[in-house]
Structure 1
């Protein structure tokens, strides 16, 4: 198990470029299974979760030509469907929630799929109902193998239908879209997720010959086609990294330029950090966060305490609430953080309190942060990363803290952030991997 030794309290300076979006990558890489022709994908993040997904495809028989660490050519002409039922596949998928994204493409093209119990983050319940119910409405049958902890899905032919999703699940929406693009007839998905990741997936599928309308809305209409073709696709900058770097700059009183931030696809993210009083300048597609001594959290018009909560797109992503919570600890004023979508994502707060922050954890979903207005620094401690986003929030806290911190279980951080220690050292951070 690796760890980071972080010596905090140093202001950082320089430029940093966000990696390709992890969540988009897991979807579009899975979509290569829909075509027997070559597909080239650029700006792939070089992180554990995405590399595991590529390994899964190779196990299935997908030929992968890695031009460099961020560009791959995929050829899914010859697929070994039986690999899905192998012990090796079961073991690998248990480590990666993104493996569920293979089900839609496999059902569409090969009429059979295996769906494992979710792996990945320990941030609360991650149910598969939306996926399974969507596949059933398209005409798939499923059975659960209790011994192997797998769902077996099969169909003679998927058929288009109208469906109302029980929740706007991003992975559920993506999986159902990939299943529906080669179904007979027309499929209408209402209450669909409309995150930029979904928009990008739809644009890629459209370039492969899919007929999709309603992109960027919560009602997606898909007219099934017989086959899809090859294409070239470029993944967006990771908006979660962009938000993380904004929070890092504010907490460490640093002057940082985020290059190629994909500003048009960030939605409400910059505004939420501005509500905390963080200054930023938009220069083309770059974001400049100047060194700032004090930032003051806004209040609502009636004078009540600022509340920042997560919500499906175009609301604020839950992946950045951990970062916002840490940044709020040094603000002037108080903030209520309300994590609605996952029940265990605030359980890292005890470590931030141990570092000296003033936080009241109300319940598994809500925490009140009383900003200490830089009257003193947080202090370094030993801690462990519980999940990807909380891990980076702890890393940001450590970089702002006085003294040395040790962060264990950094494999969680590596799952979502490529070479984060090296990139931060280029800004002047004192961080050592062991």
Structure 2
């Protein structure tokens, strides 16, 4: 049901593309208006940034624009040893006193900034005009002077199971009891423990090629690992995917599979260059997911899973749809943030399912919010907030409180 069309033809990335070793600078760009694209320095990040540059080039033929790629090493990539939940030191900011909520929220945002802060500093210093992010790595609250300028057509947002070479298993359920499954995501760890308590889950860090090498090591402990399908597809390694994992087995991470372009807030020059690159369905869908996550104050180390579908509808198709808002949205002005302008005049039906799972997998709350009619990005985002409140009311709050308490005790040396 995931839509894969876009006026800008942004669906997917060339499957065998490899990052170019050199970038356009200096004399090669004389007379051109440069828009440097910042990115992390991994092979996957470079592939994604070059994909964005190609799309932007195609949208502005003969305009005299250039989009050089500028990679940077960031803190989150420099530590590939520690488990993410120790590296990020995140907490869920739900169900505590106001002070503790604020502290937990701050830690969540600081944690995710391990992948974004240094790039954002270069953006604000105007060394960059755009940052290409995996949306799932971005905090739900950006620095005051930054905004998301566009979200491209989404790749497959689901998780992928990759089985060690030579083993004939086709699904996670095929693995014998005691088999070791590798992942760096607490969300995946919690959901695997819920569905398959007989399996052992072990942390695995590193770039995709490093994780695959660890998996296939004959002397290594892993029978399988779980990765984002989008990353494998973009690397051209989809032949290594054993199967794609979908609900009810596992719900994916907020924003997974989507590329976001971060810019300086209110930068009219850059906004104009990005005006046609976004996919409004991807923007509304991920907007709803990020609205949910912002309400839960979760992050990489909080086991929140989601699944969202969005489909365009016409006035003749909306009679039987639930309309959760009392009035239509106000008209969005041309100088508003680009995401607020996304899909102006469109109608869509949106379906969201979300879950919170305890770290040991013994407790899980799943909320299916059903189909609703939304009339803009801001409505989709607000619906995500409301779904999160319903999820907490069904028992998700208690799970997040327990997770927060355990982490506070760990930090204080009590656990």
TM range (shorter): under 0.3
TM-score (norm 1): 0.24
Higher strand share: 1
TM-score (norm 2): 0.25
